Amino acid sequence: MYLHGLFTAAVAWFLIGWQYWIIALIILVSHILIDGWKSYQEQNLSYFLFDQFLHLLVIGTCFYFTFLPKIDIVASWNKISADIHFLKLSLAFVFLTMPAGILIGLLTKKWRDKIPENKENLENAGKWIGIIERIIVFILVLHDQYEAIGLLVAAKSILRFNEKDRPEIKTEYLVIGTLLSIGIAILTGVIVKP
């Protein structure tokens, strides 16, 4: 948790400039406090969303009090709106990696808890498969290649249902996770498309 907070603050410090070290310090302390509080709560969708809201609130407050009084809002908005598509694409790619995975994990937790642990699975393989799958689907949506998404879903389904020794409950769980993952990627792509 401390390493994660330190990394987040270091990236923020690098991106906003070395002279704003106090902002990086605020982000470091608040990030550790928020994540520390969250670690004592039941891991569910409500706490995840509230946790993300608190992080965004800290960042927004820091931005407001540090940069807003010093900038011409109209000129800045014109510059940002010119690059808004790049910003939306960047945020979408970031969202489709870990945040979407955490969201899917929270939405499917009640089913995942019913599946017996299998020691033969590759560690974190499902997480990386989901990330890659969402990025591929997102790119295909941006290029209007919905047929290719259908082919991807069909190929993945054939691989999943071809394994005879897998319990039905795990197969159903994997299908739910896959459909959520692909659905989130398609929805994100439709929102981001110009």
Residue 185 confidence (pLDDT) above 90:
yes
The pTM (predicted TM-score) of the whole model is 0.64
Residue 82: per-residue pLDDT: 62
What is the residue type of 180?
L
Residue 131: per-residue pLDDT: 92
What is the residue type of 102?
I
Residue 118: per-residue pLDDT: 67
59 within 8 A of 16, measured Cβ to Cβ? no
DSSP string computed for the chain: -HHHHHHHHHHHHHHH-GGGHHHHHHHHHHHHHHHHHHHTS--SHHHHHHHHHHHHHHHHHHHHHHTGGGS-HHHHHHHHHHTHHHHHHHHHHHHTTHHHHHHHHHHTHHHHTTSPP-TTSPTTHHHHHHHHHHHHHHHHHHTT-HHHHHHHHHHHHHHHHT-TTS-HHHHHHHHHHHHHHHHHHHHHHHHH--
Residue 109: per-residue pLDDT: 85
- Tens of pLDDT, residues 139-181: 999 999 999 999 888 887 776 665 566 666 777 778 888 899 9
180 within 8 A of 107, measured Cβ to Cβ? yes
Residue 102: per-residue pLDDT: 86
- Tens of pLDDT, residues 53-100: 888 888 888 877 776 656 565 666 566 566 677 778 888 998 999 889
Mean pLDDT of the chain: 81
